[in-house]
Amino acid sequence: MLSTVIFAAQANAEKTTYANQTGQKTIQQESSAIASFAGGDWRVERHPEGQPAPQMQQQMPPGMNPYVAMDPYGQMMMPGMAAGYAPGAVMQAGYGMPMGPDYGMAAPGGPMMDPNVMPASHWGGYGCQACGGAGCQQCQGGGHGGRLGKPCADGSCQGCGGAGCGGCCGLTGGHVYCGFSRGIGNAWDMSPYGGPCAPRWADVVVDATFFIYEPGNTSTVLASQGGANNPVLNTDNYDFTNQGGVRMSLNRVFMPGSFLEFSYLGMGNWASSQSVSGAGDLFSPFSGFGVDPVGGYAETDQGSLAIFSTSNRFDSFELNMRRFFTSANCWWQSSWWVGMRYVRVDDDAVYNTLGAGGNMDYTVDVDNDLFGAQVGLDSALRLTTRWTLSAFGEVGVYGNRATQESTIAINDGANVLQETTAERRASMVVEAGFLSTFKVVPRGTLRAGYQIVYIDGIALGADSFNFQTGGVAPLNTALAGRQAFINDNGNALYHGPTVGFEYVW
């Protein structure tokens, strides 16, 4: 009876089992304590995970095996698929490129294993024999000094396509930056299994902007030399250059597939100044260029100097609710959003004259406060696991309250005239651009692109100069009692390159 019990226990212990936990062999035989002691298995060295060293696997007959593992490219390893496989032959998995001619060749010093079985591991289910089956993650470090301190020999890691753990790491697929690129794959992986379905997401986005400003103001002549038909200084004489600014976005998950996004754009400040000199032959629009009154005003006409200066700044704050959707193959990922936006545009203009018997300083300060709703759409093409090209656009309708404050100082402030007025109107803001992003670390992505912001229906300082007079001298008397004026039919275009960084925590 004792021999019967021992035989039954041994038969039950040797039934085939399948792994359901990371670190287990996919197929192996359990041994009873009695058989293990008798056979000397207790002397076998065990791995850090508590699993025995790879053993000779029982060959499985050809045919469909529902428990067979997948190779790193998503193909099921079927009997006879590997080159050199023949019924009755004993081959080893874990060396060489899956589906390649060297697959099934025994690695130096490695155990012989069934080619239909891929041992489980700690990294994607792919075994790395040089690390004792612990997985590619344990071998990171460019071929030496992984987390377990074990080298990852070339050709020993199935998860890297047979090129070794170093072969699929690094910014450009090299072997130098294994730890640097862990978890984000080959930089140039174009296969459907390269990770295109990973959602586009960033908790924080910071861009440096280098915009140029182009005002859409009406051209007004400020100085004419010798008469009305020879303009030498206009309000469209400006020379703006690219100015640095910033764009920042903060995102927070709102519901599945949606998040709230807060963005700021602005901080740029554009300024330009142009001047013209004369020999007592410069005339201003206050007198109709020396016509009314004849010869003009002493402070503005028959002058020797005229200067036009202007500056502009805008700031934008927006809060959007964004929804994502993805194409069937994940290569195209898009989103749409709706939200509220506040835009402020400050524009100043200064007109200085040095006339035959005095001087004048005319300053106009205009503020535009726009508040309204907007909608937007973007679409991104996932070229590789790390590289994405995208384009976006948004448009909004706003209510704009434009205010104008002006000061005319005559003869160094001896006489000062101040005027103010305001208007309300509907305005529009359009924003668009394209970006290229490249993930450099698992949580960080570099981005660069080009962006435009167009604002229509705003007041600009140069458009709000008021040259109405009573046609009498002196100038301070001619300006007294006139009605304040503001022109809110202008527009502004900001555009330029952007570079920045996305971060996920």
Q: How confident is the model at residue 463 (pLDDT cuts 50, 70, 90)?
A: very high
- What integer pLDDT is reported at residue 2 of this predicted model? 43
Q: Which range, of 9-23, 225-239, 292-306, 397-411, averages the lowest pLDDT?
A: 9-23
What's at 204, amino acid-wise? V
d(C-alpha 499, C-alpha 435), whole Å: 9
Average of per-residue pLDDT across 20-44? 41
Structure tokens at 226: 């010798």
Q: Which range, of 134-143, 342-351, 399-408, 440-449, averages the lowest pLDDT?
A: 134-143
Strands 490-503 and 444-458: antiparallel
Q: What is the DSSP letter of 59?
A: P
Kindly report, residue by residue over 363-398, the tens digit of the pLDDT: 999 999 999 999 999 999 988 778 899 999 999 999
Q: Is the pTM of this model over 0.85?
A: no
- For the chain, the farthest-separated pair of C-alpha atoms sits apart, in whole angstroms, at 136
- What integer pLDDT is reported at residue 164 of this predicted model? 46
Contact 367, 343 (CB under 8 A): no
- On the CB side of 424, CA atoms within 13 Å amount to 3
d(C-alpha 388, C-alpha 433), whole Å: 14
- What integer pLDDT is reported at residue 188 of this predicted model? 58
Q: Which CATH number fits domain 204-503: 3.40.50.300, 3.40.640.10, 2.40.128.100, 2.60.40.10?
A: 2.40.128.100
Closest of 363, 353, 362 to residue 281, by C-alpha = 353
Q: What is the DSSP letter of 451?
A: E
- What integer pLDDT is reported at residue 191 of this predicted model? 53
Exposure class string for 238-257: b at 16+ Cβ within 10 A, else e: bebeebebebebebeeeeee
The rounded mean pLDDT for the chain is: 73
- What integer pLDDT is reported at residue 186 of this predicted model? 61
Kindly report, residue by residue over 165-216, the tens digit of the pLDDT: 444 444 444 443 343 444 455 665 555 544 567 677 789 999 999 999 999 9
d(C-alpha 432, C-alpha 452), whole Å: 6
Q: Where are the domains of the chain?
A: 1-78+90-183, 204-503
d(C-alpha 63, C-alpha 106), whole Å: 23
pLDDT at 3 over 50: no
Contact 129, 110 (CB under 8 A): yes
Reduce the secondary structure of 221-240 to three states and give it as a string: EEEEECCCCCEEEECCCCCC
Average of per-residue pLDDT across 487-491? 94
pLDDT at 357 over 80: yes
Reduce the secondary structure of 296-320 to three states and give it as a string: CCCCCCCEEEEEEEEEEEEEEEEEE
Structure tokens at 5: 């019990």
- What integer pLDDT is reported at residue 329 of this predicted model? 76
Closest of 58, 50, 45, 41 to residue 23, by C-alpha = 50
d(C-alpha 422, C-alpha 401), whole Å: 7
How far is Cα of residue 353 from the mean position of the Cα atoms in its chain? 48
pLDDT at 11 over 50: no
Average of per-residue pLDDT across 115-138? 40
d(C-alpha 315, C-alpha 375), whole Å: 19
Give me the torsion for CA of 451, 457, 461, 464, rounded to 10°.
Answer: 160
Q: How confident is the model at residue 60 (pLDDT cuts 50, 70, 90)?
A: very low
d(C-alpha 257, C-alpha 324), whole Å: 6
- On the CB side of 467, CA atoms within 13 Å amount to 18
d(C-alpha 500, C-alpha 448), whole Å: 6
Name, in order, each residue with C-beta under 8 angstroms of 49's C-beta and a sequence gap of 6 or more.
Answer: 23, 122, 134
- Distances in Å between the Cα of 27 and the Cα atoms of 59, 204, 330, 445 are 11, 45, 34, 41
Query: Tokens 């309300």 belong to which residue?
Result: 424
d(C-alpha 367, C-alpha 388), whole Å: 39
